[in-house]
Structure 1
Amino acid sequence: MTSSGQVWLPIPPAEIDGLPPELDYVRWDAEPDFPADPADCVFYVAPYMQKAPVKVHPLPYMHKLKVLQTLTAGVDAFLPALATMHPGIQLCNARGVHEASTAEMALTLVLASLRGIPQFVRRQDKHEWRSGFHPALADKTVAIVGYGAIGSAVEDRLAGFECARVLRFARSSRATPRGPVHAMDEIPALLPDADVVVLVTPLTDETRGLADAEFLARMKDGALLVNVARGPVVDTKALLAEVESGRLRAALDVTDPEPLPPGHPLWDAPGVLISPHVGGPTSAFLPRAKRLLAGQLQRFAAGEPLHYVVAES
């Protein structure tokens, strides 16, 4: 049984190869006015890089909606709205779109922090030449907390850096060709072994505040915490206490609060590198997003099961 109806896309339909012709496409990328009556929309692709209230704004009017497709790996912004809508709506995430970019960003933050790149940039501004020793990633133990598609992509990129060991953590334990994935309840026992801890978990009730004072206290002296997940996965107050003491360092692509306001103590905390949530938006995004949407809409039009369904209303 095939499906038909109106599809809202944030990307011009003419720029996406392979869209099934039996569907009706309109473009909406968070403009003030809707391009059509949202009551006719059956498949909604939420705009990318917009604040949550903007992305969910049309949802209460979409009475025929069957699919809510995000262009993000995380879906936490959509779950409250989905809970108030009519039953049967499938929420799909953007698995396959952000793995390359986010994993690159994680490695960028690790290497920049370990090798002192922020200090070099500041010294370059002052025309100041100062050498010295810095930690290398080689021979380090790296923990990946949240070993899904992005976590696996991070390990892909670690392969050439001669790390001593990779510790993998996910909701449940399992075996992989690379080695074991440990359940999250094993973190307390194994975390003290890690020199670098990379957070790539989705934001859920279970992961909110995961890196709290107890978690951070178990990290070894001098260890580096890298967050490319969501800001609230880390307890900011607890992290500040550790970095201000000089015991830990941090590299954060996401923060809590976010955006990080001027004057927030994280900006000036010693040993902290901050990037403004840029793990996903790179040149790799658009071609992968287009392939994802074409595939999902082909399956939708043909009445086939969709990929990457993470929740249902």
Structure 2
Amino acid sequence: MRAALLMDPALVPFVFAPAARARLGDLLEIDLEDAATALAGIPEPSGVELLIVGWGAKVDPDELDSFTALRAIVHWSGGNGAMDGPASSRGIPISSARAANAIPVAEFTLAMITLAAKDAFWASRTYTAEQRFIDREAELPDTGLYLTTVGIVGASTIGRLVMRKLQSSEVRVLLFDPYASPPDAAALGAELIDDLAVLAAGSDLLSIHAPEMPSTIGMVSAEVLAALPDGATVINTARGALIDQEALVAELRTGRLRAVLDVTEPDPLPAGHPLYELPNVFLTPHLAGSMGNELRRLGETALAEVERFLVGAPFAHPAP
């Protein structure tokens, strides 16, 4: 079967280990040294039966018309690219590695929830700046994850995985998601709350996992932020645009809230932005998603989907 890579060529060795590249070479007629970043860059498109797609691809969906033999698309990234709609309308099956990419984001989020609850970021800054004994019970009397309330915004793939991981902790979990049902939330160990401001008012930590779409931009509004109790922490590993960032900065400047932000709007922030300087912000450069050796998990997921397709089995991870 003839296949083509549609991705940033520099990422090929990071995503596909030598053994995975060898396996793809055995299974497919594919040039692993010549990944294209656009459909127009793939030679003889009418003979391509399988596209393996990932980050760095720039797609004009109209160019898909020339791929008349295309039988499947395997994303080693999250999928839902510009060509997925036209491909799906033609009955072409599509696989997504969204579930695999959710794993490191959920791991990162759980670590941030735990460290924020322990006041680790802020205690570290005090300890480093003042270089003295920190009397934990006197100075940090309300720290710890035990019996805290975590508000989850969005029962997305990542949000669900975070809630499952929290089930092993003795915490109360609240969920806001207009598409989730109470039984669905209960199965995840959460209580469904239908008003985001009400959820915020009851949360010690607010963790954001909704997708970015017109209806979710700015959903963590000034009203929602104002509802958070004093000392609460906002954690965002989703998209920066989901928070009213000006309102967040205003709240942070009062010292009332804290924030752990892996994403911002824009991303990255311009030099000199106050989020770089505020002492109650822990800012990271979009680290939560798959990176480094975690990219190999995405490649292995894609390879397994290719193997399933070639034997006529349905994809284990069809794109939603």
Matched, 1:166 2:173: yes
| Cα distance in structure 2, aligned partners of 1:178 and 1:252 | 24
Whether the 8 Å CA contact 2:164–2:189 is kept in 1: the answer is: no
Deviation at 1:122, TM superposition (A): 4.7
Unmatched segments (≥5 aa) in structure 1:
49-53
TM alignment of 1:139-218, pairs within 5 A? 139-163=147-171, 165-170=172-177, 171-175=179-183, 176-180=186-190, 182=192, 185-218=194-227
Deviation at 1:173, TM superposition (A): 1.3
Matched, 1:288 2:290: no
Look up the match of 1:8: 5
Q: Cα gap change, 1:128/1:196 in structure 2, threshold over 3 Å: closer, same or farther?
A: same
Picking from 85, 103, 108, the partner of 1:105 is 108
Q: CA RMSD in A?
A: 3.5
Q: Give the partner amino acid of 2:234.
A: L
Whether the 8 Å CA contact 1:113–1:273 is kept in 2: the answer is: no
Q: Report sequence identity in percent.
A: 27
Unmatched segments (≥5 aa) in structure 2:
7-11
| Cα distance in structure 1, aligned partners of 2:263 and 2:44 | 32
| Cα distance in structure 2, aligned partners of 1:244 and 1:258 | 21
Q: Cα gap change, 1:123/1:191 in structure 2, threshold over 3 Å: closer, same or farther?
A: closer
Q: State the Cα deviation string for residues 112-155 of structure 1 (Å, max 9, x = none).
A: 33434344555676682351433222221001222233223323
| Cα distance in structure 1, aligned partners of 2:191 and 2:71 | 35
Whether the 8 Å CA contact 1:20–1:297 is kept in 2: the answer is: no
Q: Cα gap change, 1:73/1:212 in structure 2, threshold over 3 Å: closer, same or farther?
A: farther
Q: State the Cα deviation string for residues 236-260 of structure 1 (Å, max 9, x = none).
A: 1121121112222110111111012
Q: State the Cα deviation string for residues 9-32 of structure 1 (Å, max 9, x = none).
A: 634485327659553223356779
Of the structure 1 ranges 170-179 and 202-211, higher mean CA displacement relative to structure 2 is found in: 170-179
Q: Cα gap change, 1:166/1:304 in structure 2, threshold over 3 Å: closer, same or farther?
A: same
The structure with the largest strand share of the pair is 1
| Cα distance in structure 2, aligned partners of 1:300 and 1:181 | 39
Deviation at 1:86, TM superposition (A): 9.2
Deviation at 1:232, TM superposition (A): 1.5
SS at match of 1:105: helix
| Cα distance in structure 2, aligned partners of 1:243 and 1:30 | 44
Whether the 8 Å CA contact 1:60–1:85 is kept in 2: the answer is: no
Look up the match of 2:9: none
Deviation at 1:274, TM superposition (A): 0.6
Q: Give the partner amino acid of 2:261.
A: L
In the superposition, the TM-score normalised over structure 1's length comes to 0.78
Look up the match of 1:51: none
Of the structure 1 ranges 150-159 and 16-25, higher mean CA displacement relative to structure 2 is found in: 16-25
Picking from 20, 23, 26, the partner of 2:28 is 23
| Cα distance in structure 1, aligned partners of 2:95 and 2:214 | 19
Greater relative contact order (Cα < 8 A, sep 6+): 1
In the superposition, the TM-score normalised over structure 2's length comes to 0.76
